[in-house]
Every structure is written in C-alpha cells, then in structure tokens.
Structure 1
Amino acid sequence: RPVSPSVAAVSRRKKRKMGMYSLVPKKKNKVLKQRTVLEMFQRMSQSPPNPQVRDRTTRFTLKEWCFLAVSGSVESTDTDMVQELPLCSCRMEMPKSREILTLADRKCMATESIDSQLSRCQSAVLKHEMMRPSNSVQLLVLCEDHRTGMVKHQCCPGCGFFCRAGVFMECQPEVNISHRFHRACASVLKGQSFCPHCGEEVSKTKEVTIAKADTTSTVPLTHGSCVPTTSEGKADTTTGGYVIKETLESVLLALDAEKPKKLRFHPKQLYISAKQGELQKVLLMLVDGIDPNFNMESQNKRTPLHVAAEAGHQEVCHMLVQAGANLDMCDEDQRTPLMEACENNHLDTVRYLLRAGAIVSHKDVEGSTCLHLAGHFGHFGIVQHLLSTGLVDINCQDDGGWTAMIWATEYKHVDQVKLLLSKGADINIRDKEENICLHWAAFSGCVEIAEILLGAKCDLNTVNIHGDSPMHIASRESRLDCVNLFLSRGADISLKNKEGETPMECCSQNSKVWTALQASKKQREANSNQTGPVEKLLNRDIARGYEKVPIPCVNAVDSEPCPDNYKYVPESCVTSPMNIDKNITHLQYCVCKDDCSSASCMCGQLSLRCWYDKESRLLPEFCNEEPPLIFECNHACSCWRTCKNRVVQNGLRIRLQLFRTQMMGWGVKTLQDIPQGTFVCEYVGEIISDTEADVRENDSYLFSLDSKVGDMYCVDARFYGNISRFINHHCEPNLFPCRVFTSHQDLRFPHIAFFACKNISAGDELGFDYGDHFWDVKGKLFRCQCGSSKCKHSATAIAQRQADSTPGDQQPSALPDTSSSTPSSPS
C-alpha cells in the first residue's frame, strides 16, 4: 500500500547521507513541478529592472534560461508517474566543460537573490569543475565563495539563485546544517510542499530574514526593454520592449509546444538563419550549443551577428548577444556588426547594439568609423544618433584624411552637412592631398553646400598639394554654378597651381565656365588701377606638414619673402645635454577608469583640480594673471588617451596664418573663431640654460621658463621655433601663457602653452603681453605699435609719463622690422 510522503522522506534520509546520492536514475524519476519555456521567459522578463546597469549585463541570463527551459521540456514526463521527491545535488561536482567555461568567460556564473533583486557575480573562477543545486538547473562554474555557499545548501534548487539576503525558507535537518530556498520553489507532491534539498515538510521549516551582505563583486542583472522593430532610420515612438517581447514569447511558446528532440545543426546554418531573420531556428541552434561567434571563411569571416545587424534583424541580434556573441568581433575588413548596421541605415539595431555596449569608435581597414559610413551614405538619423551619444569624434579622419563632413560634402548630403556643422565639425581639416571641404564641394558641384561652407568662413583661396584652389577644381569639372559663386566671393583667378595653370587654363576654351572667367578677368583688369596691393600666398604651409593643420604665409604689404632664417620644429629641442628627467618611474600618475573628471584623479590633484572642461577649454574660474601649474595625464596613467585632461599634448589644432603687418613686421592671425579658454599653440624653440642665454647676441626670441627649482632655463626661438615665434606683443592681449607638464614632470622644463583669454574672432591678430621686463630693456630701442587705446609702451604713453615726471632724454620711436632679417619677439 502507498507510503505517506513524510514516512518516505524519513526513510530516504536513513538510506542516504548528504552529498552521497546515487547517480543512477530511478525508473521514471522526474522533477515534479517542471516549468515550461514560456514560464521561464515570463519570470525573466518580469524581474524588476535596475536603470543603473548597462544592457550588456543581460547577455548572460536569457541563454541560461533557454538551456534550462529546453532541457526541461525534452525530459518532461507525466507527474503522476513520479515515485519520490528529488533531492538536491549541492555537494556534487561534475567534470569541467570547455563550452560552459567559455560561455562564462572564466567568471563566476552564480546569480544572487538579494532583497528580491537579482545580481550576477563577477569574481574570477579558480576551480573549473561544475556544480548545481539540482538537475533542473544548468551546470555552473563558480568562484570559491559561491562553491562554499553551494556546499552549505545556500543555493535554491528550484530556481538556481543563491539566497544571500532577504526573506527565505530555511529547514534544519541537523543542528549544523541549514537549507535555504524560496517558498515558491518548494517541491510539491499531492498538494503538500517539501524542502527541495532534503524532502522535509515545509511546515517544519521556518521563514528567516537574512541581512544584506557586501555585493561589491556583483553586478545587478536587468532585463532592459528592447526597442521594437519599426521603420529603420526613423525615430522610435512605440512602447519599449512590447513588440520584441511578444515575438520572443511566441517563439518560446512554439519551442515548448513542439518539445524538439536533440537536433544537430551545422554552424553554417546559424549564419544563414541569422541573415534571413529566422528567430526560432537561431534560438534552437543556440540552445543546441552552436558557437554564436562562428565565422564564415567564405564570407569574409563574418559572424551571424554581422549579417543579422546588416539586415536589421534586431530580435536575432538580441538573441545572439544573449548567447554570448562578441559585439565587437571583426571580419577580414575589420568591420564590426555596429558598422554594418550603420552602413545599412538600421537605426533601431544601431540603438540596440550601442545599449548593449558596442564600441562606436572602431575603425575598419580603411580607417572608417561608424560615423564615416553613415556620413558617406547620407543616413541622417544614424549620424544624428551617433553624435547624440557623445562617444564619437566628429572630426575623426580615415586613412585618406577624410572626415564625415568631407564624405557628406562629396556626396551632396546637404542636411547632413548642416547637422555636422551645427555640432562643431571642422570644415577646414585637410585630407591626405590637403583638400578641404570646399575643394570637395567644388568637385561635386553642389553650390548649396559650397555656399554653406563659405558662410562658415571656409578659406576660398586655399590650395591643395597640387596647388589647386577650389576655383581650379570647379573650372576643371565644369561646375558653372560653383564658379559663379566663387567669383562673386572674390576668388583669385590669377592663382597658378604647380603645373603653372590658372583656373581659366583648366577648363575648355569657349565653354560657359571659360566665358565667365574671361569676363571676370577683364573686369578686374579694368579695376586694377583702383585697388590696393593684392595678397600673395608665399607658402601654403610653413610647418611643412609637421602640424595637424597647415599654416600658410601671405603678404599684402610689401615684397618681403616668406621668412626662412630659422628651422620650423613642432616641439622644443636641445642642442646640448639638458638631463631632462623623463624616467617613467618618476612620474606621478592617475588610475582613473573614466575620463578623469572626478576629484580623485591624481593628475588633477597635482594641478589643484582638472582645469579643462569637456570641450578641452580652461574653466572660467581659471586665473589668467597668476595661472597655476597644469599637470596633464601622461603615458604612465591608467586612463585612456582621449581623457579630458590631455589638451596641450594634442598639439596645434587652430587654423593660423602668418601674415605681413603694416607696422610690426610679421604677425599671426587666426582664420577661425577661438572661444575663451581654448589652447592655441605652444611656445617652441631651443631649450638653453640662463648662462647660455646671457652670451647669445640676439635675445629677441628668449622666453624664460621661470623655474622655482634648481637652475634657470629659457626657450630660444631664434634658430628653431614654430608659429609662436611670430606672435607680437599687445597691451590688450588675447592670449596668455601657462606652464604645463605632459610627458614628464621635471619642474625645470615646463611647456609654455598659450590659451585664449577672451573670445577671438576669425581674422584677429594674436598677441600676448611680453611683460614690463622686456620693455625695460627693449624700450630704449623701439616703442610698442600695438595700436591699443590702453597701450602702455607707445611713444605717446611714454611721453605722457615723462610729462608727469622729470623729463628725460628723447627715446627712439621707430619699431624695428620683424622680417627675416631683423626678427622681434618676446624675451
């Protein structure tokens, strides 16, 4: 006759001791309350979300549930055939599995239940043998802490979650043994509930509340809502997650109803099904254990995630990511799935991949990023979304030197050009052949974009490596509208390229373009007697390509040639041993993992704080009169090269021009607007000692490093220097110097960086205050010609001061020429 459950439980405890269970299955022995695949999915989808965790943390959970659910459905039998309650296997170990170890990424697979919230352990795994609390739970590799918890029966056999904090059921079959489980996970037999660990009646267990423990090594698991599939390239306006949830539920329901047998799929089939968007087949193959990162040798080594993203199958992408697909896996062309989605204008898929953690700055074999690809094909929505993330460099150049702005200009994407320009894109960045956006607008013949670029103060007469101006290119390509636009803006039609050709000689004779140029030429010749000197381009780049932006030299005043009595160098140099301490072990460094914006950044603390904002400009509260030392992050720091505390080391980025002034020889003007606090350039030259400076005959280019430690040193830009050697004095300066340390922290040798102390408009001459000491010495030789109403060193100001005191000898009033023969600059 049948034995009551309680008697059966007592009998089993006598026959079996904890951890000594037989591995031989009894006839038709099965878990009583087997959940279906759909129930598993519903429980997962109803878990309370944690908005503070990124979506990529969900990639582990769904696959675990799928393995659990499908395996359960295959083994499911009628509950009325059960002969006894299943006991736990908390103290059993199974041999290690390479597949599960790879899936776990050698990290603990334990999921903890803490106050009804689920969190995933991130600790490293030392022992690779697998454990699980019952046969209904997937095998797990665990860290030492959770292996101990498993042996102590702290893992619920029903759901597989570790009962670490909150309200649980606990039974104590012996004084030193306690079993934890959830009330809902108790085993049920004929209407009675039992402990899933040992079979004890639930009525003999007690409800316990366990205080919250330290969870710093865990990451909360969220089942964040997925964006439903809408028309690609359009904004998502539907309720987040509903469509995809419905689709996945229908697939899981079908799987549960069919109860598929163990099928064998070829890995290639996963690639094909992912490409065709066959979600159910993809799920079956992932459950069957096919590697989601399988790459097709015959298809450029692309993975299923590549083709799913390319086709915009967001649900398939989600399943692949959940199963462990590498978001940033590259094919033979170094393309990632995100790049495929961007190129093919699948906005929802792009959104999903970015939320899942895909890297947006990756470059392919041609140096193109996601922004380049979207800009190339004119996918406005993709470009807009990428820029909104704040993770892309809008001025990033590919291997040809082209930016997203250049691609959009060449392919006439007008709206995209307007968007990029509004977001701060630089329209004067040069490609490998030194073309700027206006060259490409002329090449494509898009007069609307050309007009936008000229309105943004794009240089009309700039030339490329072949000496061609935009007018040369528009003439050669017979772009009449662009030619007329350039003529109306005063383009130089007499400019010759390296082949000695003017724009008129680049087009077909008697063509419409030739006629327009010929008419303009005759009109300008007729007016030539009424105009002043014409600005002449003496050198298209005095830096010879050593700077990120070219620095042209022009003269519209006299016949003075481009200065050549010095060597242009992009950074300071030495001609004798200086013993600068560049030992990396002597550097103080930060260990930041963010963008160095926190107060804990060591480099920021050395500078009192990080003085740069997210636009790489000095903060408004920075003291210009007595600037503190700035210590930028260096190569010993743990932060990324793109952190916000790296500005001066990025070099010259502002478009400058060397030009001939009316009164002060050579000067420097800006070709673009410069906001206050922007780094402009560094004072570069030959580093020498004070002793050496005292014996040098020409001291016009000396800049004291003013070190408070040890010997004194100077930077002399007389023989070696950059564009800063031509910056003139101004009594109302728009620049100020600041001492900055980048690759070393030897206090004797700071970098002298010039920052804008006010907003500077395009076309303004740059200047800084040379200091009273300079004028105490040089004031005996010449007077200041800055022209400021507040000038302190002009002849008028000196005469006024002399009139207010004892009259002195008449001082010279002429300012020496700062041409190549007699340079003048700060000391």
Structure 2
Amino acid sequence: MPYVEYTRYDEPSKSPTETAQQIEEMRRQRAVAKKSTALSQPPPQPPNVVPVENILSRVVHYKPKNAVRPLRMVPHECGPQCRRSDVLPLKDLRTYNPLTKPLLSGWERQLIRYKANKIVMYRAPCGRRLRDMPELHRYLRLTGSDMAVDLFDFSPTTHCLAEFVLNNCIIGKKDLSHGKEMVPVPCVNYYDSSLPEFCSYNTERTPTAGVPLNLDPDFLCGCDCEDDCEDKSKCSCWKMTLEGARTIGMEGDVGYVYRRLPEPLPSGIYECNSRCKCRNTCLNRVAQHPLQLKLQVFKTDRRGWGIRALNDVPKGAFLCVYAGNLLTDATANLDGLNEGDEYLAELDYIEVVEAMKEDYEEDVPEALKENDQKTGSNESSEEEEESSEEEETKTKSSKDEDDEFRPSYVDVPLTFNKHLRTREKRKKEKQDNANVEIKKEKEKEIEKEVEKEEKKEIKKDADNENGDEDCITISDDEEVREPSRFSVQAGMDSKQLVSKHRSVRSYFGKDEACYIMDAKVQGNIGRYLNHSCCPNVFVQNVFVDTHDPRFPWVAFFASTHIRAGVELTWNYNYDVGSVPGKVLYCYCGANNCRGRLL
C-alpha cells in the first residue's frame, strides 16, 4: 500500500544582508513604471578626445643659453656708452621671436611678485631697472639704441620664451614667402599630403587696370619730429589722426600707444612716411614695417588653411597686412563670379567713416520721398476736421498764421501741415479766456497787455520764419521734422530733392565705387586668416604711402593677448543673405557662432 512519508527539510538560514537584498529586488520588480523624486544618476562621461594638435605638438619654454647678463648697477648717467658691444647686432636676430631679442642682447626680464600681484621690470645692459614703457622709451632714446619699444612687454601674462613646437606632420614647407619676408613663413599639414594652392607671394599691393593709385610722395604730409613723435600735438601726422578721430566723436589719446593699438580706430591712422624726418624707431611707424612675428600656416579639419602664432602675442601688437591685387568694383564682380570671391576684401573706409560722423544723413530713398509726398492725401478724417477749423480761425486772425512756402516753379505744391502749432494756440486762447472770467479787472488789463506783447513776438517770429530760406518747419500730429537745408535749382522736378550731404567718394568721379583687394592669385600671409564669430584679431585702416581715402592699408592687430599655438582669426563681417543663392556655413566653434557666413 502506497504511503507518503513526510520528511523534515531545514532550509539553510540566510543572513540578514541576503534577506534585505531579496526584499529590495522584489520591491524593484514593478508592473507599472512610476516616477521617482530620487536624484538621477549622471550619465557616463565619454572618453576625452584629445585634438590632433595636442597629440602632435606642445608649447616649450626655452631658456637662453650663454646669454649676456646685465652689469651690476653703479650710479651713472645713462648715454650711448651704456650700449653693449659684446652682443649680436639686432639685424642678426631677425628670425627670432621679437620679444626674445632684448633678452639675447644683454637685457633681463624680471617677474616680481608684490602683494599677490605680479609686476614686470626690465634690467638694461648697464644694470638700470625700468618699470614701464615711458621709462623704457626714455632710456632707448638716451642711449641711441636701435631697438623699438614694441620688442618689450610689461604684461605678466606674456611668456617671452614660450614657443609652439610641432612634433611631426605628413608634409610641410619651410617658407611660403620664398625669402620675401624677413621671417620665414612655414607651412604644415598633418591631415593629408596637400599644400596650399598656388599663389604668387607678394608683400605689397598691386594696382590693376582702372585703379588710379598715386604713390607720389609730393602729395604726402610729413613731419620734422626728433623725439620719435612722442608729442602728438606737434607731429603733423599725428594731428591728421586726431582730427579724423574728432569727426566721429572720439577724443583723448587715440591711436598707437607705444607702437601698439589697444582698440580699433574707425577714422583711420596716418603713419609717418618717407617725407618725415623721424627715425625708424618712431612711435608712429608700425604697419609699414615688414613681418616680425613668427607665424605658421597650417591645415584645419573643416576650414581650409589657417594661421597660428608660434609665440605669445601681446594685446595690440601688429601682426601683418592684407596684400593683393587692387581691382575695380566691376572687375571684382566679374572675377568673383568666374574664379570665386573668398579672397576679396572691400576698401569701404569712406562709407564706414561717413556713417559714423555726427549729424551725417544718407540720401533719402525714393520710397520715403513718395511717402512724404502722399502724406497730405492720406490724412485721416480727424485731421480734415481740424484743417477746416484752422481755415475758419485763419479768416478771423490771419496775422497770427504763417504763410505756406510754395515755390512757383514746382509743379506740385509742397503741403506742410501746421496742426500742432494751431492746436497749441487754440489751447492758449481757451486758457486765457478762462483766466479773464475768474480774475479781477486789474488782472484782466495786465493780461491783455501781456497778450499783446506775446502776439507781437509771435508775429515777429512768424515773419522771421517766412523770411528764412534755409529753414522750413514741417509739423504734423506725430512728429516735428526740421530739414536743415532745402536747395532749389532751376528746372528741378518736384520729386527731386538735393541732399545737403555729399559723399566724399562722389568727388572722385560720378561712377566712383569701392575698390577691392583680391588676394586669390597674388597675396601675402594675410590671405590665410580664417573667420571667427569670436575673433582675436581686428582690422585697421592705415595710411602710409598715400593719403587718398580710397586706398588705405588693411592691417591686422591682436585684440587680446594670444598664447603660443592659438589660431589667429578675424571677423569677415559678411551680411547673411547678401548673395542670393549662396550659403556659406561657419565652423568657427565659438560659443556665439552665428552658424552662417552668407
């Protein structure tokens, strides 16, 4: 007979930790997802992707070997005897970083920490310490040194001996300028084996057919300064720069500050030229000097070729100019359609300055002229009622009204609204009537006398306004506009208005337009500067070999301190949508990137 035998089975006892884990696992197994207020776990961080530039390059801080140190300071009067003769001449150091040239010529740069601050001082070869640019410039003049002040920098953030070094690359070229620059311009590519497209390297601009560039020095204004043009009030070249700055409302110390430009000057800078008697170390000779900084052309991943600084660049330092072929506007448009417009730069100095001048007005567009002429016919019903009331008032007191200015030779009479003036007079009359009823007889007599005097003054003002041919007051319900001048010519049509302001460019010819600098076929290192929505370089118009406002030099300056290895970029200032059917995206990578260039 079958039977069931019960046996006792004791499960192994679980530890409290295992029991708690089992309960927690059962709690997590839910049939319905529920929201939780618990803090979310941060996502796993992606592995740091090191750019190619950081893998193949580094910044090295050199230390000059066997450098001549300054002498021990002994009280003396500084003069030409303080110059050292046991150092290399400055011309033999042209391939070095400009900031290292003094350190190789017997100078010493000291970084002093004082109360949590850093101060830079220079020790001259004779042992004297110099604390700032004025002292340095005074010392260089006393000793007759051939060094300029832009070879020194008193900013503690600048590392004069730092240099960007590239470990290896796929292909490179030692000098793109082929010896035309004082400093070699190397070119590297670590993405592929391509080199920049062919370009005839030239450091000067070349005028083409139809460009009237006059470089005759007899048309220049020169100075006879002997103090390196330090006194701006006595230098004739500095005066031209200061007078131009006043036209746009800029006063004070503008332009170069010890051969550095801290901020752009839209009105332009007039440098000393071949007619000036000042030395080569003049404080007003900057952009005319050849390339001194060590720059490198390199291949970028998405933006073609670019330029980087191999050494630290102080703020306001001069970088290079933009050279190429000077073209007329018509030629540039034709070449741009056939060969591309990526290297075209417009010389619009005149238009930029005129737009910034105080009280400058552009010519009124034709659309606005038509709207102004249609103002009288498009008035509202309220304005018509007010005009009828004005006519009634005009019949009662014709002496208080101003006659309308209606030239007999204009086909359609110009309609001027005077609602605002009449309304003010009506309000004044009502107030006077109310005061007459309230006040006493004596006050009435006084008020009548006052009213008579006011009417006489109003009549005189009206007569003066009618007699003034250069000023017409136009009033309506919304705004009061007073044209500064209205010139009338014989046979002038009613739709033609003569503007008071005339562009300077129109004085050079009827069909004169902006000239274009094209660096596609011929140019210098400036053609490789890329665009950025957050640039570290700004452009400045400079006049050197001509004072013709149509042909300024296009010079580039550092807008901030640039460390070694950083790419140099400037803002192209393209108008998005200005070229129909052409879209150009921006890959600068800045936080404020617009996304598009065109």
Q: When the two structures are superposed, what TM-score results if normalisation uses the length of structure 2?
A: 0.47
Higher RCO by CA contacts (8 Å cutoff, separation 6 or greater):
2
